[in-house]
Chains A and B, each alone.
Chain A
Amino acid sequence: MEQRSEFKRDIAIYLGIICLTALIVTINHLRLKSLGMVLILTIASCEALIVGYYFMHLMTKKKTIHLILFLTFVVFLSLLFLPAWDIANSPRTPSEFTTY
């Protein structure tokens, strides 16, 4: 009985993520520029959270795992924004740092 309910839950989550993927592809077709970018990233993050929460068992509330992930994201965000802050405070313009 528990296996059937778990199976139904897994299928529901799977179909939900498929629908979210279809949604972000649709948003891409609409060419909404900045709004589209924000929507796509938000929905993708939701998809990732759903996979992490249900498939990777993050819902089991193991503090050790949450602590590892929290510290990882703090370090990652610091490393992401540190060069951005450095570029922003530099006398050179941002475009002078990169060429395409």
Chain B
Amino acid sequence: MHDTELVPYKVEAREDTGLYNAKFGLWLFLASEIMLFGSLFSAYILLRVGSFSWPQQSDYLNVPIGALNSVILLSSSIFFIRAWVALKADDLAKYKRLMWWVISLAGLFLFFKGIEYYQHFSRQEYPKTSVFLALYFLLTGLHALHILAGIGINIYYAGPGTRLRTINKQWFINRLEVAGLYWHFVDIIWIFLFSILYLL
């Protein structure tokens, strides 16, 4: 007997919350992530409001690359949703193809982020250079780590993780839904990062 039959609410939703275990757990995790990024955003707000002067941020940062990264990340979110739909429709080949698109686009995001960092370093712009740059590198660096973690998770679910589908199909679909929630959350964080750091 596999533990999906021993552990309740792994597949079906609980009556009181209306959520299965993984979804409930992930939303609690996302709440902690909101506090993490929220505290950093609030540090940015207080430091900027309290400073004598603040640079024109778009003069320091590459807005076209930032905008391109926004499109890339949003596109990966769309591909993720279509991958989940393909999985629910039992089209495993299409699901895997779309998941690899998600992973590739995420890798492209990190590639362009790396180009931006290289541009900063070649202009002698480091975190220690100014408060703004310290916040920029902290926020975008933390976000990039989240993207990297997401890439790892998505590679697992696009590759070796698909064998979970043979154990319990709905369980695997639920896991992918939960991974998708994390991915969309990372996308939302980037929307605010791009707006606040690049455009304000």
Closest Cβ–Cβ distance, residue B133 to chain A (whole Å):
11
Can you list 25 A-B contacts with CB-CB less than 8 angstroms, sorted by A residue number? Answer: A7-B82, A10-B82, A14-B74, A17-B74, A24-B199, A25-B63, A40-B195, A44-B194, A47-B191, A48-B191, A51-B188, A55-B81, A56-B185, A68-B27, A69-B34, A75-B35, A79-B35, A80-B38, A95-B52, A97-B50, A99-B52, A99-B131, A100-B47, A100-B54, A100-B130
Closest Cβ–Cβ distance, residue A52 to chain B (whole Å):
6
* Secondary structure type dominating chain B contacts: helix
Is the C-beta of B200 less than 8 angstroms from some C-beta in chain A?
yes
Q: How many residues from B make CB contacts under 8 Å with A? A: 51
The distance in angstroms between the C-alpha atoms of A72 and B180, with both chains bound, is 20
Is the C-beta of B46 less than 8 angstroms from some C-beta in chain A?
yes
Contact for A18 among B27, B31, B39, B74, CB less than 8 A: B74
* Secondary structure type dominating chain A contacts: helix
Number of A-B contacts (CB under 8 A): 126
Contacts of A68 in B (CB 8 A): 27-28, 31
Pick from A56, A62, A80 the residue with the most CB of B within 10 Å. Answer: A56
- Given A62-B18, A62-B19, does the pair A72, B52 have CB atoms closer than 8 Å? no
Contacts of B42 in A (CB 8 A): 76, 79-80, 83
The answer to whether B45 and A80 have CB atoms under 8 Å apart is: yes
Contact with A along B9-50 (1 / 0, CB 8 A): 000000001110000100110010011001100100111011
Closest Cβ–Cβ distance, residue A55 to chain B (whole Å):
4
Contacts of B85 in A (CB 8 A): 3, 6-7
Is the C-beta of B166 less than 8 angstroms from some C-beta in chain A?
no
Which residues of A78-95 have CB atoms within 8 Å of chain B's CB atoms?
Answer: 79-80, 83-84, 87, 94-95
The distance in angstroms between the C-alpha atoms of A69 and B200, with both chains bound, is 26
Residues of A whose CB lies within 8 Å of any CB of B are 3, 6-7, 10-11, 14, 17-18, 21-22, 24-25, 27-28, 37, 40-41, 43-44, 47-48, 51-52, 55-56, 62-65, 68-69, 71-73, 75-76, 79-80, 83-84, 87, 94-95, 97-100
The answer to whether A94 and B49 have CB atoms under 8 Å apart is: yes
The answer to whether A76 and B38 have CB atoms under 8 Å apart is: yes
Contacts of A52 in B (CB 8 A): 184, 188
Closest Cβ–Cβ distance, residue A36 to chain B (whole Å):
8
Q: A44-B195, A56-B184, A80-B38 are in contact. List 4 more A-B contacts (CB 8 A).
A: A10-B82, A41-B196, A72-B34, A98-B131
Is the C-beta of B122 less than 8 angstroms from some C-beta in chain A?
no
Contacts of B78 in A (CB 8 A): 10-11, 14
Nearest B residue to A95 via CB reads: B52
The answer to whether B199 and A40 have CB atoms under 8 Å apart is: yes
Closest Cβ–Cβ distance, residue B77 to chain A (whole Å):
6
The answer to whether B27 and A25 have CB atoms under 8 Å apart is: no
